[in-house]
A and B are shown apart, each in its own frame.
Chain A
Amino acid sequence: MNIAVNLTPAELALGGMMLPHARMEDWRWTNLRTLIDRPYPPGGKIAVAAKEIARLRDTSPLARMPAARLVFVNGAFSQGESRFPASGEVGIRPGLPRLSASDEPVASLNANFATDGLTLTIRSGANIDTPIELLFLATDADPRTIATRVAVDIGAGASATLIETFAGEGSYLANSAVSIALGEGARLDRVTLERQAPGAIHLADRDVTLQGRAVLRDFTLTAGAKLNRQNARYTLAGEHADARIAGAYLLGGRQHADTRLVVRHAKPHCTSREIFKCVMDDHARGIFQGKVIVDPGAQKTDGKQSSHALLLSETAEFDAKPELEIFADDVVCGHGATSGDLDHNHLFYLRSRGIPEREAKAMLVAAFVEEAFETIGNDHIRAALGEIATGWLASRGGAS
């Protein structure tokens, strides 16, 4: 690292930690040194009225869904606000879990500044039907860094649905690290809903490991925050593990979202799919960087990734960087990326049947992202998130 660099105000507020910049390959489109233009000092405790928390919680489209809810308010785990899982097969241990050493910048920030967290364990063989939601709320207060850390351990043969919801108001930098271990034959349906405040910054680091025959269905909706960077590493560490990783962006204004996925096939006969559907309007910028690594000996790997962008304005932008690193010789791997605007023939067809332009565009946006939403196994969650997609254009005054 270049010690001659003048630290930015944001870096000084973070105790002199240097933020990632455009000369780092993974960060070429997301230069945090320039994009984070004010200090976000690591936060102390903030007192919040219960009424305020309830109000914020109820803005979630999943608020009325039956779920166990583990609530973090401004980076502190709030047991009082939480509804613990009824099942005795789910264990919850408050406190910061250990983070595996990493020089990844988002993980490093978390290692330095995480204030609270929990460890969630699901006993081997347990089938947990009721979804478990981790709800991270930020209230309107001075700009600050809010960092949390969660570890999830799903025992062999167990199954569960885990939701991570991020919401808030005001100006803050949220840093969230989550590590997930799926045991042999475990199944996890994971849904992330990022609808942070419009003035917020969202930095996430995910580390997911699948043992043999484990099945992961992973969906992330990126809709909030002015600046979003989501890193995730998936390791298929046992034979016949199967990961389907999907995401959708709904970005307008000057929103910036960058997802960086690394899927590592460490053992033979594993399957991975990445499918990202990104919608950008106004001056929004979306980035998708997906890397698939096939280790030596990981034969019969089946790995595919695709990213598709829908650009609703001339000034919106999308960048895709697919990468394959293959060290085995009997594999099927592929990637694809497309970008385009709304199909005018589709639009005319809908309008010729009496559907007003705004509504027709909204239908086509929802249709575009649908394939990614199909990854969500739970009908309630898919419907609730689908409504966000359908209502998105109207909620922000529509595309030009």
Chain B
Amino acid sequence: MILNGLSLTVNAGEVHAIMGPNGSGKSTLSYVLSGREGYVVTQGSVTYRGQDLLAMEPDVRAAKGVFLAFQYPIEIPGVATMQFLKVALNAQRKARGEKELSTPDFMRLVKARAAKLGVSQDMLKRAVNVGFSGGEKKRAEILQMAVLEPSLCILDETDSGLDIDALRIVADGVNALRSPDRAMIVITHYQRLLDYIVPDVVHVLSQGRIVKSGGKNLAHELEERGYAQFEKDAA
């Protein structure tokens, strides 16, 4: 049992940070929400915009606006980044009954978003995440997010492996996507990311459930006093 008794409500326009020590269930939460195989939900429910999220296939969730920025983005040799992005965007648009984007329109969209995130043309020409550095992979995840324009963004340890300059670029990219009709769940181990992506609410996850919630200052408190106090509470 990795998640146990977790209760969380995220409203449109809000940014929630979920902090917790290793093994507290942070990544499991992100995988359960995005529909990865191998996780069985034995109890409880997830309601997304009034619908049962757990009943949906991963691609259906994506088309309905759920996006997971992976902690470890997957390398897929042989699948070109641009083709992948175009197929993904148009599959989502098709699923939503929207008109598919033409190749020139798509290229314009990606180039504009890529420039802001410092994603080079060279990176776009390569296979998905293949040969990208850790920082490049994270930027590429945020680029996908910017192109797909989801309504629920789940960022799983997006700060891990980033130096301070890369962190700033990624955070700027995320902040640019903040909007009244978009919600974000920012999962992180360290408070550092939250200096750049300032959350509305901070939750502490310990042993599979949220043991404390508070304002952005809770993150600073955690940084000073550590997670140990909450682990005791959860036990």
- Residues of A at the B interface (CB closer than 8 Å) are 344-346, 348-357, 359-360, 363-364, 366-368, 370-371
B142 at the interface (CB under 8 A from A): no
How many Å lie between the Cα of A370 and that of B78 in the bound state? 6
How many Å lie between the Cα of A351 and that of B84 in the bound state? 11
Within the complex, the shortest CB–CB distance from B72 to chain A, in Å, comes to 9
Asked whether A351 lies within 8 Å of B74 as measured between CB atoms, the reply is no
Q: Which A-chain residue is minimally distant from B147 (CB atoms)?
A: A353
Asked whether B77 lies within 8 Å of A367 as measured between CB atoms, the reply is yes
> Interface size (B, Cβ < 8 Å)?
30
Asked whether B88 lies within 8 Å of A366 as measured between CB atoms, the reply is no
B192 at the interface (CB under 8 A from A): no
Asked whether B37 lies within 8 Å of A344 as measured between CB atoms, the reply is yes
How many Å lie between the Cα of A324 and that of B191 in the bound state? 58
Residues from chain A with Cβ under 8 Å of B59 in the complex: 351-357, 360
Q: Which A-chain residue is minimally distant from B62 (CB atoms)?
A: A354
Asked whether A350 lies within 8 Å of B76 as measured between CB atoms, the reply is yes
How many Å lie between the Cα of A349 and that of B54 in the bound state? 17
Residues from chain B with Cβ under 8 Å of A348 in the complex: 36-37, 58, 74
Across the interface, B78 reaches (CB within 8 A) one of A344, A356, A368, namely: A368
Q: For the complex of A and B, list the 9 residue pairs with the smallest distance between their C-beta atoms, beginning with the closest.
A: A367-B78, A354-B62, A354-B92, A353-B88, A349-B74, A351-B58, A370-B78, A351-B59, A367-B79
Asked whether B57 lies within 8 Å of A345 as measured between CB atoms, the reply is no
Asked whether A363 lies within 8 Å of B74 as measured between CB atoms, the reply is no
Known: A348-B36, A348-B58, A350-B84. A355 touches B91 (CB 8 A): yes
B187 at the interface (CB under 8 A from A): no
Residues from chain B with Cβ under 8 Å of A349 in the complex: 70, 73-74, 76, 128
How many Å lie between the Cα of A50 and that of B219 in the bound state? 79
How many Å lie between the Cα of A353 and that of B144 in the bound state? 8
Q: Tell me which of A348, A350, A352, A357 has the highest count of chain B C-beta atoms within 10 A of its own C-beta.
A: A352
- Residues of B at the A interface (CB closer than 8 Å) are 34-37, 57-59, 61-63, 67-68, 70, 73-74, 76-79, 84, 87-89, 91-92, 95, 127-128, 144, 148
Q: Which B-chain residue is minimally distant from A347 (CB atoms)?
A: B37
Asked whether B92 lies within 8 Å of A346 as measured between CB atoms, the reply is no
How many Å lie between the Cα of A350 and that of B35 in the bound state? 12
Q: Which B-chain residue is minimally distant from A362 (CB atoms)?
A: B87
Residues from chain A with Cβ under 8 Å of B92 in the complex: 353-354
Asked whether A354 lies within 8 Å of B91 as measured between CB atoms, the reply is yes
How many Å lie between the Cα of A196 and that of B10 in the bound state? 57
Within the complex, the shortest CB–CB distance from B2 to chain A, in Å, comes to 18
Residues from chain A with Cβ under 8 Å of B88 in the complex: 350, 353-355
Within the complex, the shortest CB–CB distance from B119 to chain A, in Å, comes to 16
Q: Which B-chain residue is minimally distant from A365 (CB atoms)?
A: B78
How many Å lie between the Cα of A371 and that of B148 in the bound state? 29
Within the complex, the shortest CB–CB distance from A352 to chain B, in Å, comes to 5
Known: A351-B58, A367-B79. A356 touches B91 (CB 8 A): yes
Across the interface, A363 reaches (CB within 8 A) one of B61, B73, B79, B144, namely: B79
Asked whether A354 lies within 8 Å of B34 as measured between CB atoms, the reply is no
Within the complex, the shortest CB–CB distance from A83 to chain B, in Å, comes to 33
How many Å lie between the Cα of A345 and that of B62 in the bound state? 16
